[in-house]
Amino acid sequence: MNRKDDQPGKTSSLRRRERARPKKQRAEDKSSLPAGRSGKTADGPERIIHELEARQSELTRQNEELRQIWAETEAALARYADLFEFAPVGYFTLNPDGRIVEANLMGARMLQVNRSSLLNQPFSRYVAHESKGLIRSYVQDVIQSREKRICELQARRSDGSTFFVSAESMGVWDQKDRLLKFLIVIVDISERKRMEEELRRSEKRYRHIVEDHASFICRHRGDGTITFVNEAICELMGKAKEEIQGSSLYDYIPIEDHPVVREAIASLSKECPDSRQLHRVALPNGRIVWHEWISRMVFNPRGQFVEYQAAGRDITEIQKAQEALREAKENLERRVRQRTKALAKVNEDLVKREQELEEESRRLQDANTALKILLHHREEDRRNLEESVLTNVRKLVLPHLETLLRSRLSPVQSNLVNIIETNLKDLVSPFLRTLMGHYANLTPREIDVVHLAREGKTAKEIAEILNSSVRSIEFHKANIRTKLGLKNRKVNLRSHLLSLKP
């Protein structure tokens, strides 16, 4: 039986099922055994043969169930292979030395390498030089923590180009705490990195615009009284300079932002003559805008403090853009976390399924071994039974039959001898089946000669038993040797016949 046709645990469960059958049904099975003349159940070879045939039938049924289970397992393996091969991420399995022992199609496609070329290659070969140190510390962290770890690094394609990936790894240890392998999932995050770089450049660009284009200028005393404003502020507020000058700058700032402005002004000194602050400004129409102001202390020629001068600009759009960038970054990070979590779940399912399939394979192997042992025992029992029957016939029946054949028999006695001869042929049928299986072209008379020759009878004795001439028996023996392939060979006919085991 092929090892794939086994199913662990099925043999023992089928035995339990047999023991659980109703006593009445088992009694009916026993009653179907062949009976002797007295009507009682036979206790001899017929009973053993019947039980062996019943066992063979049960084993055949079990074998069909095992084949069905194996087909289901093959289907599950196919689904697992599809999930592994066509996943949108790269899967790699490394041995404890860091060499690749398995990779899926996406992993090979990311690295632009034929999958067969990846096998037994160090994973570090496909890590960019800039990330070599990072990958070493990352692997040590995975080994020491015994937990999943995620890091971002630069991978290297076969053409030397690099790209950013997010790698999630975990180790697999055996029961003796020995590291068996690494499981690594990589996700191409080049697009995310590109977006982040664009965000940084955009932020830098907006920062330069703000720093280089201050549009509002004013001066004020320490208590906040405005002494000067430029036209840009007048246009912003929709007032003349005279209306604004003499008022307090805190009149145009929401009360929630007053502490920010006071703290910035209080921080100014000769040692630190300027400061930068961001705060909101309330416009006459009720609109709230964001301003960035750079304040500095103004001194007279004698070095005495006179007032504060501030240069400001509207950064409302920049603040909105930064807020949008923050939200976009948060959304991107949230999506990455969700995707990473989903990928981790897929990876866990794959590891779990792999373990289940390994356990299933072990159970199939155990069941296959048990089934082979049962079949071997059945074959030995059959051979022993046939040998026993043949021995009994040879020792207990044939001597009496020979005596009868050499005596004068009445017609009734001749009929009885014929019946005995027929029954003997039935008893030795296993050998006959074996002989006919090998050499189906023997005639009935040649078969009779074969049986007697196998028992060690001479040609003369066979002629007397078969009521034939010695010359005729020699003729049959010659034909038998020809049909058995013994012609012109120095092989004893009886020895050859004895070597033909059922």
Mean pLDDT of 118-145: 90
Rounded Cα distance between 214 and 466, Å, is: 134
Hey, which of 58-72, 100-114, 212-226 has the most confident mean pLDDT? Answer: 100-114
SS3 162: strand
Rounded Cα distance between 402 and 66, Å, is: 53
Rounded Cα distance between 187 and 346, Å, is: 13
pLDDT at 99 over 80: yes
In sequence order, what E strands does 210-286 have?
A: 216-220, 226-229, 274-282
Cβ-contact 429, 386 below 8 angstroms = no
Phi, psi (rounded to 5 degrees) for 202? -65, -45
Q: Which amino acid is at 249?
A: L
pLDDT at residue 419, rounded to an integer: 67
Kindly report, as residue ranges, where domains of CATH 3.30.450.20 are found in the chain: 91-188, 212-314
SS3 488: coil
Rounded Cα distance between 250 and 273, Å, is: 21
More confident residue, 228 or 88: 228
Which of 483, 479, 387 has its CA nearest to residue 435?
A: 483
Mean pLDDT check: name the lowest of 217-231, 265-279, 379-393.
379-393
Mean pLDDT of 157-185: 90
SS3 448: helix
Which of 205, 220, 210 has its CA nearest to residue 264?
A: 220
pLDDT at 1 over 80: no
What number does CATH give the domain 388-499?
1.10.10.10
pLDDT digits (tens, 9 = 90+) for 425-464: 655 665 556 655 555 577 878 877 887 887 788 888 888 8
**Rounded to whole angstroms, what are the CA distances from 363 to 6, 65, 68, 359?**
8, 14, 15, 6
pLDDT at residue 26, rounded to an integer: 47
pLDDT at 3 over 60: no
pLDDT at residue 41, rounded to an integer: 46
CATH superfamily, domain at 91-188: PAS domain (3.30.450.20)
The two beta strands, 162-173 and 149-156, are antiparallel
Which of 377, 387, 394, 381 has its CA nearest to residue 501?
A: 387
More confident residue, 329 or 47: 329
pLDDT at residue 497, rounded to an integer: 79
Rounded Cα distance between 283 and 288, Å, is: 6
Give 233's contacts (C-beta < 8 A, 6+ positions apart).
Answer: 216, 217, 218, 244
Share of the chain above pLDDT 90, in %: 18
Rounded Cα distance between 317 and 323, Å, is: 10
pLDDT at 373 over 80: yes
Under DSSP, the state recorded for 252 is: G
DSSP secondary structure string, 390-415? HHHIIIIIHHHHHHHHHS---HHHHH
- What's the chain's average pLDDT? 80
Kindly report, as residue ranges, where domains of CATH 1.10.10.10 are found in the chain: 388-499
Mean pLDDT of 166-182: 90
Mean pLDDT check: name the lowest of 61-65, 172-176, 177-181.
61-65
- Among left, alpha and beta (phi > 0; psi -120 to 50; other), residue 428 is alpha
pLDDT at residue 467, rounded to an integer: 82
pLDDT at residue 415, rounded to an integer: 63
pLDDT digits (tens, 9 = 90+) for 342-363: 888 888 888 998 898 888 888 8
Hey, which of 27-41, 246-260, 315-329 has the most confident mean pLDDT? Answer: 246-260
Give 213's contacts (C-beta < 8 A, 6+ positions apart).
Answer: 313
Mean pLDDT of 135-140: 89
Phi, psi (rounded to 5 degrees) for 313? -150, 155
Residues in the chain: 502
Mean pLDDT check: name the lowest of 231-245, 279-293, 427-441.
427-441
pLDDT at residue 501, rounded to an integer: 58
Cβ-contact 480, 450 below 8 angstroms = yes
pLDDT at residue 34, rounded to an integer: 47
Question: Domain 212-314 falls in which CATH fold?
Answer: Beta-Lactamase (3.30.450)
pLDDT at residue 42, rounded to an integer: 47
Count Cα atoms within 13 angstroms, Cβ side, for 321.
Answer: 14
More confident residue, 400 or 291: 291
Neighbours of 315 (CB within 10 A): 20
Burial class (CB in 10 A: 0-12, 13-18, 19+), 140: exposed
